[in-house]
DNA sequence: CATACTTATCGACGTCCGTCAATGTAAAGG
DNA sequence: CCTTTACATTGACGGACGTCGATAAGTATG
């Protein structure tokens, strides 16, 4: 999909982490989890994710205008969300349709709340 | 507590946000929430938070060594976590004791999971 | 007070991030 | 084919971030 850094966040993270409080994160766990939260740590990406989650499928063409960002910028952000495993894109005909990955959101939530 | 940017994340955020999916975040909501997730988006801060959460109170003196970071760096990170409302520090005697703020973690989790 | 100790702040450095114009790529429809 | 459409990638720029040494500010103890 991309030449450099196709690197998705390791899937083992999904299994790995019981709530933060139960045990101290290792360095690797912290690194992987941080990438997920970092993806959530930008206002534009949060609104992007929010838009996708609200209408359970969204194509990029509907995202640029409400965000007020350029097409490359939107593409950049969808990529980061996708690499964090929070959304997935499916190309159908002309458009790419984005959906959230509930398991991933669930997993992130589980880290914060027992 | 600090000369510049004592600016905590607006508390109204705690009320504001139903799950991401239910309604598209406004720009302000996204901005405030992003600061919280951004605070979680660094491996060192995650381990820091994890350590504090595990032993429900921790003093900075116990944090530097296991993190392998300098004292100013640890101080920097505790400050960011505190400004995000995720931890609070209490000065008792010589040391500052840090605790997590369960409501904040709960709120962040609620955004991700209905 | 003087000293030791703990934490916060400052200044500097290198790196990463968000942004966009320009360009590339791939598919659809004539 | 060629044009149009949708999206990705590149390159560049400014700003934010993580880090640490040095230093300041605050607090216990002699």
pLDDT in tens, A47-92: 999 999 998 789 988 898 899 999 999 999 999 999 999 999 999 8
Does A96 score more than 90 pLDDT?
Answer: yes
Q: What average pLDDT does the segment A23-38 reach?
A: 93
Chain A residues whose beta carbon lies within 8 Å of the beta carbon of residue B98? none
Q: Whose CA is closest to A86, among A98, A75, A97, A74?
A: A98
Output the six-digit token pair for B69: 């970071």
Output the six-digit token pair for B28: 């302000």
Does A36 score more than 50 pLDDT?
Answer: yes
Does A6 score more than 70 pLDDT?
Answer: no
Does B17 score more than 70 pLDDT?
Answer: no
Does B28 score more than 80 pLDDT?
Answer: yes
Say how far apart CA B99 and CA B16 lie, in whole Å.
24
Just give the CATH number of A12-112. 1.10.10.10
Say how far apart CA B36 and CA B6 lie, in whole Å.
15
Test B54 with A105 for CB contact under 8 angstroms: no
| Sequence-separated contacts (24+) of B75-78 with Cβ below 8 Å | B77/B42, B77/B44, B77/B45, B77/B48, B78/B48
Per-residue pLDDT, B19: 83
pLDDT per position as a tens digit, B39-91: 999 999 999 999 999 987 899 888 988 999 999 999 999 999 999 999 999 98
Band (pLDDT 50/70/90 cuts) for residue B15 is low
Q: Cα separations (Å) of A88 from A40, A65, A79, B85?
A: 15, 21, 9, 31
Which chain C positions come under 7 Å from a protein C-beta?
5-11, 17-22, 27-28
Per-residue pLDDT, A53: 94
Say how far apart CA A74 and CA A80 lie, in whole Å.
10
Radius of gyration of chain B (CA): 15
CA dihedral B51, B52, B54, B55 (to 10 degrees): 110
C-alpha distance from B53 to closest chain A C-alpha (Å): 4
Secondary structure of A45-94 in HEC code, one letter for each residue: HHHHHHHHHHCCCEEHHHCHHHHCCCHHHHHHHHHHHHHCCCEEEEEECC
Q: For residue A36, how many C-alpha atoms fall within 13 Å in the half-sphere facing its CB?
A: 26
Does B16 score more than 90 pLDDT?
Answer: no
Does B2 score more than 50 pLDDT?
Answer: no
Proximity of residue B53 CB to strand C below 7 A: no
* Class of B26-112 in CATH: mainly alpha
User: Nearest by CB to A30, which of B27, B43, B108?
Assistant: B43
């Amino acid at each position: 999909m991309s030449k450099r850094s196709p690197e998705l966040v390791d899937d083992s993270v999904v299994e790995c982490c019981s709530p933060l409080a139960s045990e101290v994160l290792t360095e690797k766990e912290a690194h992987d989890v941080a990438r997920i939260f970092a993806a959530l740590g930008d206002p534009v990406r949060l609104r992007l994710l929010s838009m996708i989650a609200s209408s359970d499928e969204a194509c990029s063409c509907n995202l640029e205008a409400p965000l007020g960002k350029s097409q490359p910028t939107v593409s950049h952000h969808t990529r980061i969300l996708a690499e964090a495993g929070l959304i997935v894109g499916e190309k159908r005909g002309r458009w790419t349709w984005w959906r959230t990955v509930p398991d991933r959101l669930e997993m992130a939530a589980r880290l914060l709340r027992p």
